[in-house]
Chains A and B, each alone.
Chain A
Amino acid sequence: MKSKLFIFIIVSLILAGVFQYDYDSHTNYFAEKNIFVTLPKGKTLEILSFGFKNFVADMIFIWSIQFYSNYNLNNRFEYIEDIYNIITDLNPRYRAPYYVGSWIMALELNNYKMAIRLLQKASKNLKDDWDFDFESGYYAYKYLKDYKLAEKYYKKAAEKPDAPSFVKRWQAHTIYMKDNLTYALKMWLEIKENAKNKLEKNSALNHLYQIKFEIDKKNLEEKIKLFEQRFRRKPVNLKELKRKGIINMIPKDFKGEDYIYDFKTGKIKAKKVFRWKKFY
């Protein structure tokens, strides 16, 4: 009797395997498809979690990682903002969903504004963390090319208690990028004075060199134009500007060396050029 039962179990398992094989041969698990995702709002889910909201947030977050790793789903980004808002509504101080959600939004979906929105929610909920504002600033700087917005976020990040020194350098750099040269010069001088290592100091010196050059270039080229209006020719060299009383002194670069003057074009160049702005 026992051996008959054993044979029956084996046969049943073999038959189940045959049906599974048949099902698999007709199914393409990796075919591209659309999916419909529906989840209640964060507040509703918080009520429905009956005191287990952290657990629910963890589960949705883990599911979202697997879901957004599935490249066969064509419309998987449709509800991405809602999903990460639900997770972060359930557990506003849960860091990982802010990072992961914003990475997916920015680097896969290329929706930097959406990524910044999530990061700013993180910044609001985790007030002492500098990195969410820093990352917002980076997306605004690198991808949106909105230097005003980037400066705003870098400034916010730099004001946080544990913000590393490079955050302030990024802020100073965005100020330079949005052409507020006087303020940028002031900030970089401050960074140079407070530099704690060679890297910080060299970085500040490079920026100061560039900014001083841009300020001097603008002033000198204006004076050259003035000279041209008066004498209907370009000055032979910068000394001529001084000789004719158009400038009081010939500015030097941050290292104390002379600028290069091109007589034919009337343009000023520095010996060292940093290609931080497209027009150099």
Chain B
Amino acid sequence: MKIRAIALNTFKEATRNKIYYLLIFFGIFFVLSSKLVTLLTIGDHVKVLKDLGLASINFFSVLIAIFTGIDLVYKEIERKTIYNILSKPISRSCFIIGKFFGLALTLFVALISMVVMFFLFMLLFSGELDVRILVYFILLYFELLIITSISLLFSSISTPILSSVFTISLYLIGHVIWTFNEFKDKIVNPIIKIISYILYYTLPNLEKFNIKNSIVMNIDIDIGMILSSICYAIFYIAALLILTILIFNKREFQ
């Protein structure tokens, strides 16, 4: 009940932020303007519409996840409203979990609004509605939840600017960590090898949620891999939230 109240309050607070609407607006704007880009290309226009639409939604929803995630916890600390909340019979873990679910709801609403516009747009210009794209959006949502939990972790220990830098860095690392897979087996030094293995398995692997290519190019999607990616996301988020709670519990507010 307490978690629900914090989550709803977080959602309300996030939706009051103008940046939230601005990012949704730009996401939708880029989806719609992809029609103009198809005028410059030759060949499969529907493929380009899908590529640009999915890339726009991906990019702007990641920005929403990073900036709303960072902003909300830090604001509570900065404005000292956290004293009010924590003076009530609400544990710090409830506060973090409530914040996470509130941000998850905020992201869900933002993503849904962009997805609906994307589907309407595709229906209008290509006359087709590829329901397989929904699978991509489900995976994207889980990727966003991981990013949110990362931003929540950093925002509870650092300033907004540093949190943004750390979260964006981890987001970028998450999308190139697959290259590490080839690299780590070639290391000869056993200590560096162990370190590289630890890094490979502890850093987020976000590329597994990126099935844009399979969706757009009509390549078969492996359901087992999708379920495995969702399970990965759930456990990774759980680990990050526990870590955030542990750090947040130790933190002293002055």
By a beta-carbon cutoff of 8 Å, the part of chain A in contact with chain B is 47, 50-55, 57-58, 61-62, 65-66, 91, 93-96, 99-100
8 Å CB contact of A66 from B40, B55, B58: B40
- List the A residue with the shortest CB-CB distance to B59: A52
What residues on B are CB-neighbors of A54 within 8 Å? 51, 54-55, 212-213, 216
Contact B217 A94 (CB under 8 A): yes
Which of B4-12, B41-49, B106-114 faces chain A?
A: B41-49
Contact A55 B55 (CB under 8 A): yes
What residues on A are CB-neighbors of B212 within 8 Å? 51, 54
Closest 10 pairs between A and B when the two form their complex, measured CB to CB: A96-B43, A55-B55, A51-B175, A50-B175, A93-B217, A54-B51, A51-B210, A62-B40, A58-B51, A62-B41
Contact B176 A91 (CB under 8 A): no
CB distance from B65 to the nearest CB of A (A): 14
Contact B51 A51 (CB under 8 A): no
Would you list 9 pairs from A and B whose C-beta atoms are within 8 A, ordered by A residue? A51-B206, A51-B207, A51-B212, A54-B55, A62-B40, A93-B217, A94-B44, A94-B217, A96-B41
What residues on A are CB-neighbors of B213 within 8 Å? 53-54, 91, 93
B192 at the interface (CB under 8 A from A): no
Asked if A96 meets B44 with Cβ closer than 8 Å, knowing A50-B176, A58-B51, the reply is yes
CA distance A94 to B58 in the complex (A): 20
CA distance A65 to B176 in the complex (A): 29
CB distance from B171 to the nearest CB of A (A): 8
What residues on A are CB-neighbors of B172 within 8 Å? 50
Contact B41 A51 (CB under 8 A): no
CB distance from A163 to the nearest CB of B (A): 20
What residues on A are CB-neighbors of B44 within 8 Å? 94-96
CA distance A94 to B44 in the complex (A): 9
CA distance A54 to B53 in the complex (A): 11
CA distance A100 to B40 in the complex (A): 13
Contact A51 B52 (CB under 8 A): no
Asked if A55 meets B52 with Cβ closer than 8 Å, knowing A91-B213, A93-B219, A96-B44, the reply is yes
What residues on A are CB-neighbors of B52 within 8 Å? 55, 58
Query: Which B residues, 1 to 59, have Cβ-Cβ distances below 8 Å to chain A?
Result: 37, 40-44, 47-48, 51-52, 54-55, 58-59
What residues on B are CB-neighbors of A94 within 8 Å? 44, 47, 217
Contact with A along B189-210 (1 / 0, CB 8 A): 0000000000000000011001
8 Å CB contact of A96 from B42, B175, B176, B179: B42
What residues on B are CB-neighbors of A61 within 8 Å? 41
What residues on A are CB-neighbors of B206 within 8 Å? 51
CB distance from A67 to the nearest CB of B (A): 12
Asked if A58 meets B48 with Cβ closer than 8 Å, knowing A52-B58, A100-B43, the reply is yes
CA distance A215 to B51 in the complex (A): 56
- List the B residue with the shortest CB-CB distance to A103: B42
CA distance A52 to B206 in the complex (A): 12
What residues on A are CB-neighbors of B48 within 8 Å? 58, 62
Contact B37 A91 (CB under 8 A): no
CA distance A57 to B219 in the complex (A): 17
CA distance A54 to B210 in the complex (A): 11
What residues on B are CB-neighbors of A66 within 8 Å? 40
Contact A65 B40 (CB under 8 A): yes
Contact B58 A51 (CB under 8 A): yes
8 Å CB contact of B37 from A53, A62, A99: A62
Residue from the set A58, A95, A99 with the largest chain B CB neighbour count within 10 Å:
A58
CB distance from B126 to the nearest CB of A (A): 16
CA distance A8 to B210 in the complex (A): 52
- List the B residue with the shortest CB-CB distance to A54: B51
CB distance from A9 to the nearest CB of B (A): 27
Query: Which B residues, 123 to 147, have Cβ-Cβ distances below 8 Å to chain A?
Result: none
What residues on A are CB-neighbors of B51 within 8 Å? 54-55, 57-58
CB distance from B151 to the nearest CB of A (A): 17
CB distance from A69 to the nearest CB of B (A): 10
8 Å CB contact of A99 from B43, B176, B219: B43
What residues on B are CB-neighbors of A99 within 8 Å? 42-43
- List the A residue with the shortest CB-CB distance to B143: A51
What residues on B are CB-neighbors of A58 within 8 Å? 37, 41, 48, 51-52
